[in-house]
Structure 1
Amino acid sequence: MGKKVAGNLLIIGGAEDKKGDCAILKRFVELSGGKAGKLVIMTTATKEPEAVGKEYLQIFGRLGGGQIEILDLPSRMEAKGEKAVNIISEATGIFFTGGDQLRITSILGGTPVNEALARAYKNGVVIAGTSAGASAMSDTMIVEGDSDSAPRKNSLRMAPGLGLLEETVIDQHFAQRGRLGRLLAAVAHNPYVLGIGIDEDTAVVVGADARLDVIGSRTVTIVDGKEATYTNVSELEPDQNLALHGVRLHVIPAGYGFNLRNRQPLI
């Protein structure tokens, strides 16, 4: 993975604890500088930006966040504005809420805000995302797909993501929605891409050293197809079942990690 990891990411599988000790959201506040931090809540993914933004504003304030600002960019015109770019440029932590990941990429892709996000990431600013915000972190994202059927050629739809975490595809609400089949199908399309499935109330912290650490109450499933010996994905008719041989699968709970560079679990 070479230099494929440039900064600091916190990628959450969705439905994170917001009322108890809030361990995952507290980690975001800490990584962003605590009281000295400048946090930006990105509500682009959701169709209810006011309610969702306000909820996270209150949570981050309660957890000891410093300056906290909601940045709602409902269209590409707002994502081209100088004000939004300046807000991103001054942030120490940027948080993408859940919603629809295609809203994030279709609204931000190719805009000055997207360029500002890339600069912030390379400068070490913490970028976090939950649910749809998690899916958008990778360079390839799952937009939609069947969770309750055998993996097939037409069982999922993919699109380019924000590209912060390269050579990966991320799926969220993983165990709760039975999404192993669709993650396997995604990896079959390009076995060099590492599949990362994150359970609810679970997150991965990824640093510039390409080390992934798991936090939260459940697990992360990693599908590594690099050494796969066979797949029929290119020959399938739309409703035929997928064949995929020789895939490596890792299940990683909190306290364990994974080296993204050499694709090895860390005990």
Structure 2
Amino acid sequence: MGNKVNGTLLVIGGAEDKQGKCEILSDFIRLAGGPKAHVVIITTAALESDRVGKKYYDLFEGLGAGTVEVLDLDSRKKANNRSVVMKMAKATGIFFTGGDQLRITSILGGTTANEALQKAYRSGAVIAGTSAGASVMSNTMIVEGDNDEAPKLNTIKLAPGLGLLEEVVIDQHFAQRGRLGRLLSAVAHNPYILGMGIDEDTAVIIRADAKLEIIGSQTVTFVDGRGVSFTNVSELSPGQALAIDNVVLHVLPKGYGFDLAARMLVNSEMCGELKEGEKNGDNRNQSS
């Protein structure tokens, strides 16, 4: 099956509601176990890590998480500290803040912290990330690109991500920053990879069966290039406009589901069934 997922992911498009109902962050705490949740916040992407960590610490405590702690992994030395392994082993939810996604991969890549993250993920911890923390979840990530521009060669830069989600490339702040062009460019580089553009205050919950549910106030755009019959991406000079034919777009709001393996809309009733199953204790983290 394509689009391999080894656990539960919550991928947030950035600027999620932190003052009203906090629907997305509340769902993170629910998925992580509610009052039994042990949440670890990773602030590696943020330049003002103390301020950002404190903000999410207060939010998650206020939303009813049982235990919340912040890991300020701002160097590879810290990311290789064995104490990180013990802290992540206890986590039922791990949350990556926004900032610069290259800071996450360049600091965590190949460290004991990354090994502990992968083990926690496979063991049932919910891995969540917002903005840069969302982009880094796939095995290929967008690290730079022009907004509000027609797709052209060299308008994006791609790099390896954390690899929690395969065969997908994620963009965030999507509609608000006019990023359709750069997501199309990413898909043109490899039409086998599914593009996923997530709007602000919007998220997807992805489960181990590669089916996802959309939550939040805006939409998610899926760019499927498997049926592309022609693209000139390999023939372009820098700055030239991209040609790409026969791309399939899906734009879906809250309440809809999507099957990443089949690349098709999932009946919205399934989302309700999944939530009901979690209430009945089917989510692995509820028993941890």
Scaled to the shorter chain, the TM-score interval is over 0.9
Aligned residue for 1:233? 233
Other structure's SS at 2:222 match: strand
1:90 equivalent to 2:90? Answer: yes
The number of residues matched between the two structures is: 267
3-state SS, counterpart of residue 83 of structure 1? helix
Alignment of 1:113-152 (within 5 A): 113-152=113-152
Q: Partners of 1:228 and 1:164 in 2: how far apart?
A: 26
* Residue of structure 2 equivalent to 1:261: 261
Q: Distance in 2 between matches of 1:131 and 1:152?
A: 23
Unaligned segments of structure 1, at least 5 residues:
none
Aligned twin of 2:51: 51
Amino acid at match of 2:191: P
Number of the residue aligned with 2:281: none
1:62 equivalenced with 2:62 (yes/no): yes
* Partner residue, 2:221: 221
- Secondary structure of 2:235's aligned partner: coil
2:10 partner letter = L
- The runs of 5 or more residues in structure 2 that have no matched partner are 268-288
Give runs of ≥4 in structure 1 deviating > 2 Å: none
Q: Secondary structure at the match of 2:115?
A: helix
Closer, same or farther in 2 for the Cα pair 1:117/1:209, shift >3 Å? same
2-structure distance, mates of 1:44, 1:141:
16
Match of 1:18 in 2: 18
Deviation at residue 115 of structure 1 after TM alignment: 0.9
Per-residue CA deviations over 1:39-89 (Å, capped at 9, x if unaligned) read 000000001111000000111011111100000100111111101111111
Per the alignment, residue 200 of structure 1 pairs with 200
Q: Distance in 2 between matches of 1:65 and 1:163?
A: 27
Q: How far apart are residue 90 of structure 1 and its match?
A: 1.1
Residue-by-residue CA offset, 1:118-154 (whole Å, 9 max, x unaligned): 1111112100000000000011000010012110111
Determine the C-alpha separation between the residues in 2 that align with 1:166 and 1:90: 25
Q: 1:201 to 1:62 in 2, by over 3 A?
A: same
Question: In the alignment, residue 248 of structure 2 is paired with which amino acid?
Answer: R
Contact 2:147-2:179 within 8 A present in 1 as well: yes
* Residue type of the alignment partner of 2:115: E
Amino acid across the alignment from 2:257: G
How far apart, in 2, do the equivalents of 1:149 and 1:206 lie? Answer: 30
The CA distance in 2 between the partners of 1:116 and 1:149, in whole Å, is: 39
For normalisation by structure 2, the TM-score amounts to 0.92
SS in 1 for 2:52: helix
For the 8 Å contact 2:46–2:98, the answer to whether it is kept is: yes
Alignment deviations for residues 189-246 of structure 1 (CA, whole Å, 9 cap, x no partner): 0000000000000000000111011000000000000111111101100111000001
Structure 2 CA distance for aligned equivalents of residues 257 and 99 of structure 1:
28
Q: What's 1:41 paired with?
A: 41
Name the CA distance, whole Å, in 2 between partners of 1:32 and 1:60: 11
Structure 1 equivalent of residue 275 of structure 2:
none
Q: What amino acid does structure 2 have at the position aligned with 1:144?
A: E
Q: Identity rate of aligned residues, in percent?
A: 64
Q: Distance in 2 between matches of 1:203 and 1:14?
A: 9
Q: Which amino acid aligns with 1:131?
A: S
TM-score (norm 1): 0.99
Cα separation, 1, equivalents of 2:50 and 2:95: 15
Residue 2 of structure 1: how far off its partner (Å) = 4.2
The one-letter code of the counterpart of 1:265 is L
* Residue equivalent to 1:169: 169
